[in-house]
Amino acid sequence: MHDTWRLRAQAAIRTSMILGACALASSTAAHEYHPISPTLANQTIILTGNDLTIAQVIQVARYGAKVKFSPEAKRRNLDTFNLMNEGAAEGIPIYLFNRNSGAGREVVRFKGDPMSPENRPKLEAQALDEFRNGSDESDEHGPEFMDEASVRAMMVIRANQMSYMAASPAMMQGLIDLINADITPVMRSRAGTGEAEGPSAGAMNAAMVGAGEAYLHGVRMLASEALQHAGLRPIQPGPGDNTMDTVNSDVARPLRDFGRRRAPLSRVGRPCIRNGSQWHE
């Protein structure tokens, strides 16, 4: 009798161990990171801000095609960047730059030329601090994206729209460098609400300055190490770069349409600039 119960108990323990091992294996498999297959790494997509298609997003996001800005996109960005700084120097109120946001939009952040010896160091320090604090490490935004292609889709769409923004040239190139080096920030957020990209942009910003964690060719490491291995240096964000996540990148659309090559993304998240402030079309 005792032998029978002992045998039954041993069988029950073995069954529990097997089921537990299967559950653990299933959980591990479900949370395995899926890096891209860079079969198109020898191709380059030109970002003009006007004619990016879903097919091109897929080429970059899934298959590692490189990206670069057209001369016109670079010129448009530089003109907008200079316009914002010139406007601030002339005392023009610019939302989120020399003025606060929301209910505090009439509160002055700084006065005068943002590139002056008095203002520039403080503004660059503020931008760098916010970039460093942008890593998407909190689980409040949901589980981590385990498909590298999804995050790269957000990155290339954001890069495409940035030529219409008052981002510094260093920030523009920093995002391009991440994409081309296959450095993908660890990301949990699914963009933000309303007009803001929110934490999804913050994770990209953090990686540009070597903060937080990132994947290099599918291997997880500190973002600072990923930059070093790729031969890149952390960027110094310019004055106002810490406000460049307040436009709608519409990242939900490429994720929803991923794999369906239909409508162009020529105007996804493309903002208008008026006196350095960001408006929607």
Provide the pLDDT for residue 231: 98
pLDDT reading at 44 higher than 90: yes
Helices (H), 42-135: 54-61, 71-89, 120-132
Kindly report the average pLDDT of the chain as a whole number.
80
pLDDT reading at 64 higher than 80: yes
pLDDT digits (tens, 9 = 90+) for 146-188: 999 999 999 999 999 998 999 999 999 999 999 999 999 998 8
Taking the C-alpha atoms of residue 217 and residue 246, their distance in angstroms, rounded to an integer, is 29
Q: Flag the least confident range among 49-63, 92-106, 144-158, 234-248.
A: 234-248
Residue that is written with structure tokens 């190490």 in the block = 225
Provide the pLDDT for residue 142: 73
Closest CA to 234 of 257, 207, 254, 262: 207
Residue that is written with structure tokens 């298609």 in the block = 53
Provide the pLDDT for residue 17: 43
pLDDT reading at 258 higher than 90: no
Provide the pLDDT for residue 37: 95
Q: What would the mean pLDDT of 142-146 be, rounded to a whole number?
A: 85
| pTM of the entire predicted model | 0.78
Provide the pLDDT for residue 56: 97
pLDDT reading at 272 higher than 50: no
Q: Flag the least confident range among 18-27, 36-45, 141-150, 226-235.
A: 18-27
CA angle 23, 29, 35 (to 5 degrees): 170
Q: Which of 5-9, 13-17, 211-215 has the highest mean pLDDT?
A: 211-215
Taking the C-alpha atoms of residue 64 and residue 213, their distance in angstroms, rounded to an integer, is 20
Q: What are phi and psi of 203, to 5 degrees?
A: -65, -40
pLDDT reading at 131 higher than 70: yes
